[in-house]
Amino acid sequence: MPAMAATHSHVGMNPNRIRPTEDIFNPNDPHIREDIIRMIMQYLADEGYNASQTTIQDESNVKWHEREDDTNETRRLKKAIIDGEWAEVDKICSKPLFKNQKSFLFAVYKQQYLEYIEHREMQKAFTFLQKRLKPLEQHQKTPIEFKDLCYLLTTKSIHDAPSFKNWEGIAQGRDRLVEQFQSMLEVENSVKDGSVYVPPNRLLNLLRQAVAYQIEVSRYHPRISPIVETLLQDFSPFVIPNATRTVMLGHRGNVKCADFVGAEGRSIISGSSDNTLRIWDTETGNCLHILEGHSSRIWDVSSNDGGTTAASASGDSTVKIWDIKGPKAQCRATLGGHSGDVYTVKYHPTSNHVVSGGYDKIVRLHDLTTGQVVKTFSGHQLAVSKVILNPIGNLIVSGSKDNTIKFWDLISGVCIKTITSHLGEVTSVAMNSNGTLLLSSSKDNSNRLWDVRMTRPLRKLKGHQNTSKNFIRAGFAHNSLLVGGSEDGLVYIWDQESGDILQKLQGHEAMVYNAVWSPKQSMFVSSSDDRTVRTWYYDGKCHDEDRCKSIVFVHHILTGLILTISIITTSSSP
């Protein structure tokens, strides 16, 4: 059945824009790498980190010229000069090395000539002077250098000529020649690079442009220029969704779970009591794929950061891994090990493993390469309702129907702490992006915020309903909001600092199981007992309460009509 998409327009998220993930430049290009190092050195120098800048410069100078030093021609030439193998030097210098090669050739021939003079091989020196040095006379360093070379044919010592009174001998002369070659090569490469000059504040200007780009392509353009407080996360506008963006219809049973796919969130995955999963386009609400294969309801879904695969936890005692990238989505693997319903599944940050839990009270770690259970975590007295991992992936947190929350060390498998403060079954746990805060939901009608490091409660969030047999779940939104479902059919948004209710989103016809925020899309997605999935966004036009109520009322009527048609169609089908 086609999805019913809201008609509200918005600014931003233009699909035709160049995405930062596209290869608009090659970061492995050695010239790009050098540019990055130069900008870092400039920034360090501007900020007064002179010692650090000098250290990087010393290290980078070596690295920048490894390209030249490692070439066979360069190494052969240097060795030939040091060893005095002049025939080899001539052979290598017959190929173009740099623009001022004739100046270098004059220096090479001059060294050979001086060695003939040193060894008193005057006839060879005379012939060499005429055939090699005379044609390159214009490349002499001083106006009298060639004249002094001729004068050496009549002197007893090289030092008798004014131009060579400081000559240090054959070995030192060859060393000087190698140094001259390296210096000329470096100058030539600097000219080729064209990147030695770094415009003032180049790194800061690039960062400002990057932030401006993030603001430009964000879903909501701020009316007042925002102040960016961190560069560790992409800019996302601070808005509180107030209206339904899209209603996604098609499931024939209640929708237990829904989540944005991958870090970008351009699609949504939902799981239902109709034993299927559906992939939806975030922007249009169109159903892209229907995933069939489970023989019981789907309780939970998760996807990897790349958005290429998804995992589903089902009442048929399995976890299925799905390939969801490309024109055809299909099941890639079925993970066993559980006895009874699997209520929860979550990808490890590396995307190489998934963690699951369920009715049998055991948390399991699955290796996606082999499909095997590689570790189990035992300790809960009743079913495990939700499992998550901290951002760095070394800690598992599980919530259970035994009213407890447990923290497990991933490597040792040991439970390192247990929270027992909830008076009812724990229905969900969630962690903020830096792993310092934990949010838990319970059938004692409360969501609680915890300091992870101290394992102490910070505040209790109330107002919603969570007392029946369903898993009502909550999570973090943006940097300062909390969002969750409720049995009264509303999506609740709380202020993280005060615990106050900021918004109640109306639209679902029955209890809301979960609500999830996407920082990239700046939207919520929610799933409900009314068989629908909804996205929520900020509608700047929906500023007056009566108008918002009218929109919600229209959605209710249309949703009711479509559901009625769906039920009639289902009951009349063979």
Cβ–Cβ under 8 Å, residues 6 and 244: yes
Cβ–Cβ under 8 Å, residues 393 and 410: yes
Helices and strands, number each (H, E), in the chain: 11, 29
The whole-number pLDDT of residue 229 equals 79
The whole-number pLDDT of residue 442 equals 94
The whole-number pLDDT of residue 573 equals 40
CA-based angle 330:336:339, to the nearest 5?
130
Q: What is the dihedral of CA 345, 349, 351, 353, to 10 degrees?
A: -50
Q: Which of 361, 432, 374, 437 is nearest to 400 (CA)?
A: 361
The structure tokens listed for 106 are 């004059």
The whole-number pLDDT of residue 94 equals 82
Q: Which of 295, 263, 261, 296 is nearest to 278 (CA)?
A: 261
The C-alpha atoms of residue 308 and residue 38 are separated, in whole angstroms, by 36
The C-alpha atoms of residue 570 and residue 558 are separated, in whole angstroms, by 18
C-alpha dihedral sign at 68, 71, 74, 80: positive
Cβ–Cβ under 8 Å, residues 362 and 377: yes
Residue with tokens 């918002």: 548
Cβ–Cβ under 8 Å, residues 366 and 353: yes
pLDDT tens-digit profile, the chain (574 residues): 334 433 333 445 555 666 666 667 787 787 788 888 888 988 998 898 988 988 887 777 645 444 444 466 777 888 899 999 999 888 888 877 766 788 889 999 999 999 999 999 999 999 999 999 999 999 888 889 999 999 999 998 999 999 999 899 999 999 988 888 877 776 655 544 444 567 888 899 899 888 888 888 777 777 667 788 778 778 877 778 999 999 999 999 999 999 999 999 999 999 999 999 999 999 999 999 999 999 999 999 999 999 999 999 999 999 999 999 888 899 999 999 999 999 999 999 999 999 999 999 999 999 999 999 999 999 999 999 999 999 999 999 999 999 999 999 999 999 999 999 888 999 999 999 889 999 999 999 999 999 998 888 999 999 999 988 789 999 999 878 999 999 999 999 999 999 999 999 999 999 999 999 998 888 999 999 999 999 999 887 765 444 444 444 444 444 455 455 454 444 444 3
143, 214, 235, 368, 535 from 228: Cα distances, Å: 63, 11, 7, 38, 27
Q: Which of 424, 419, 403 is nearest to 458 (CA)?
A: 419
The structure tokens listed for 101 are 């090669």
Cβ–Cβ under 8 Å, residues 261 and 308: no
The whole-number pLDDT of residue 31 equals 77
| Domains in the chain with CATH codes | 243-572 (2.130.10.10)
Bridge-partner residues for 475, per DSSP? Answer: 483
Phi/psi for 555 (5° steps) reads -60, -40
- Global model pTM greater than 0.75: no
The whole-number pLDDT of residue 333 equals 95
The C-alpha atoms of residue 235 and residue 238 are separated, in whole angstroms, by 9
The C-alpha atoms of residue 360 and residue 339 are separated, in whole angstroms, by 6
The whole-number pLDDT of residue 195 equals 43
The whole-number pLDDT of residue 3 equals 41
